[in-house]
């Protein structure tokens, strides 16, 4: 898959599962060890992604995780996913009382609420005027004469200015140039700019996730994460590690 296989610095903790792996967990909830079927990932890691980017099937994934997990494992997943302490404690209490469905419901709703709050925080004040700063100290740059992006070193200028707009618990990244152009994720893992309006174009929509360290990560419609590489290239990756975490200073 081209640059999808590029090596990354592995100090992050959010992991992606694809639809096949998600379905496998649903069909076999008793798998409690890492296996090739899950790409080397455990149910804890699967649950972590589900809580990071909740979907309609998040409860189904979480209840199966809860059924094969211990209270300590649930607690660790909550901490890594940045869920509120109160929600974690309530879920674990229900777990100890044998109310597994209630435990999963609390975790699922807490994840959805966190995502709603993340979206509002990211796109609300100052019209969502943000720069997108990578782990390498470089800034996401939108070219004016070309439909491409990369990472720029040095002091940011106009081409590094973006409007982050709320699109119903997701966000779009609009470059400062006129006419409007938006950041797009492609199925091959590439990222580019297009003039297409976000209506009816899911490739332009990104799910924001605020990491426990205060950085942000963005999940594409393909289940891949926006990634800024040390060489200045921008793409999408299957795992969320340090290169998939961004700071978002105002401009």
Q: What domains are there in the chain, each with its CATH number? A: 10-117 (no CATH), 125-244 (2.80.10.50)
How many Å apart are CA 39 and CA 55, to the nearest integer? Answer: 21
**If we measure between CA atoms, which residue out of 210, 219, 221, 222 comes closest to residue 247?**
210
Report whether pLDDT(15) > 70: no
The confidence band for 12, taking pLDDT boundaries of 50, 70 and 90, is: very low
Q: pLDDT per residue over 148-197, tens digit each?
A: 999 999 999 999 999 999 887 789 999 999 889 999 999 999 999 999 99
Give the H or E element holding residue 117.
helix 100-123
Check residue 14 and give its pLDDT: 39
DSSP-derived letter for residue 163 is E
* Mean pLDDT, residues 120-129 taken together: 71
Say what the pLDDT of residue 25 is: 41
Per-residue pLDDT at 123: 67
Range 61-83 average pLDDT: 92
Question: What is the pLDDT at residue 128?
Answer: 87
Helix (H, G, I), strand (E, B) or coil at 75: helix
Give the model's pLDDT for residue 209. 85
Contact partners, residue 198, CB within 8 Å, separation at least 6: 165, 167, 172, 182, 204, 205
- Can you state the percent helix, strand and coil of the chain, rounding each to 5? 40, 20, 40
Q: Bigger pLDDT: 18 or 156?
A: 156
- In this predicted structure, what is the pLDDT of residue 19? 47
Query: Is a pLDDT exceeding 70 seen at residue 32?
Result: no
Q: How far apart are CA 15 and CA 80, in angstroms?
A: 11
Q: Is the pLDDT of residue 23 over 90?
A: no
Provide the pLDDT confidence category of residue 56 given band limits of 50, 70 and 90.
Answer: confident
Around Cβ 216, how many Cβ atoms within 10 Å?
Answer: 23
pTM over 0.85: no
**Separation CA 227–CA 246 (nearest Å):** 9
In the predicted model, is pLDDT for residue 38 greater than 50? no
């Amino acid at each position: 898959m081209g640059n999808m296989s590029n090596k990354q610095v592995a100090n992050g903790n959010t992991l992606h599962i694809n639809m096949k792996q998600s379905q496998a967990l649903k069909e076999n909830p008793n798998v409690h060890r890492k296996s090739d079927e899950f790409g080397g990932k455990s149910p804890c890691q699967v649950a972590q992604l589900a809580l990071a980017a909740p979907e309609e099937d998040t409860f189904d994934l979480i209840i199966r995780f809860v059924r094969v997990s211990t209270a300590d494992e649930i607690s660790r997943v909550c901490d890594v996913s940045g869920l509120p302490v109160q929600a974690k404690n309530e879920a674990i209490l229900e777990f100890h009382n044998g109310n597994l469905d209630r435990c999963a419901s609390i975790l699922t709703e807490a994840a959805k609420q966190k995502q709603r709050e993340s979206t509002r925080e990211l796109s609300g004040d100052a019209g969502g005027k943000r720069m997108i700063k990578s782990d390498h100290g470089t800034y996401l740059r939108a070219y004016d004469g070309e439909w491409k992006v990369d990472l720029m070193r040095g002091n940011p200028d106009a081409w590094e200015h973006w409007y982050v707009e709320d699109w119903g618990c997701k966000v779009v990244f609009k470059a400062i140039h006129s006419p409007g152009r938006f950041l797009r994720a492609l199925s091959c893992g590439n990222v580019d700019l297009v003039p297409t309006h976000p209506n009816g174009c899911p490739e332009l929509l990104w799910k924001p996730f605020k990491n426990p360290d205060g950085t942000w990560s963005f999940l594409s419609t393909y289940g891949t994460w926006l990634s800024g590489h040390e060489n200045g290239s921008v793409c999408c990756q299957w795992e969320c590690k340090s290169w998939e975490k961004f700071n978002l200073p105002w401009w």
